[in-house]
Amino acid sequence: MSKNGSKSKKPLLPLAARPYRPGIGLVLLNAQGLAFVAQRKDTPGDAWQFPQGGIDEGEDPRQTCLREMEEEIGTNKAEIIAESKDWVAYDLPADIADQVWKGRFRGQRQKWFCARFTGADSDINLETKHPEFCRWRWMALDEVPALIVPFKRALYDQVVAEFLALARGCASR
């Protein structure tokens, strides 16, 4: 504590010196090969994204994927059908990085999963314990990168390229 009794803030590391937060991302496909996307409550504009989240210490990325799906979209009705070959990362813009995750990270390094949705649309419930999204829809996987915030677009292009054949395979069943 400082002399006046208030807690002093620890200075933030320069952005380039900060580590990446470990996380996962999920491409959830329905029987028609369309991808689940949702609009975040805390992002201005018409930005849509896939479910994603941080990996807890000691947690397996696959476990994280299933946990995040239930926490963010209120369902566990899916089976994982693929995992990204590599971990992929994105950097937050500097002004956002100082606010998100208390300024500890420069962005996220993520393992991505593709899952087949086995439920009905009525199984999806955005009114979770800590709601992150205000609305959702199914859309063609290759159209999603155009709707994501710009700083995540290259990552989404990479993920879509890796899972696009799976989406087309679902649709051709």
The answer on pLDDT for 144 being more than 80 is: yes
Check: CB of residue 51 under 8 Å from CB of residue 28. yes
Q: Is residue 3 part of a domain?
A: no
Place of tokens 């933030």: 12
* pLDDT above 70 as % of the chain: 93
Q: How many domains does the chain have?
A: 1
Give residue-wise pLDDT tens across range 82-94: 999 999 999 999 8
Q: Is residue 167 part of a domain?
A: yes
Q: Is residue 12 part of a domain?
A: no
What is the per-residue pLDDT for 75?
Answer: 96
Helix, strand, coil in percent for the chain, rounding step 5: 30, 30, 40
What is the mean pLDDT of the segment spanning 26-41? Answer: 96
Give residue-wise pLDDT tens across range 10-29: 778 888 889 999 999 999 99
The answer on pLDDT for 173 being more than 60 is: no
Q: Is residue 165 part of a domain?
A: yes
What's the domain range around 66? 18-171
Q: Is residue 5 part of a domain?
A: no
The answer on pLDDT for 4 being more than 60 is: no
pTM of the model: 0.89
Residue 73, classified by CB atoms within 10 Å of its CB into exposed (0-12), middle (13-18) or buried (19+), is buried
Q: Is residue 132 part of a domain?
A: yes
Q: What CATH number is attached to the domain comprising 145? A: 3.90.79.10
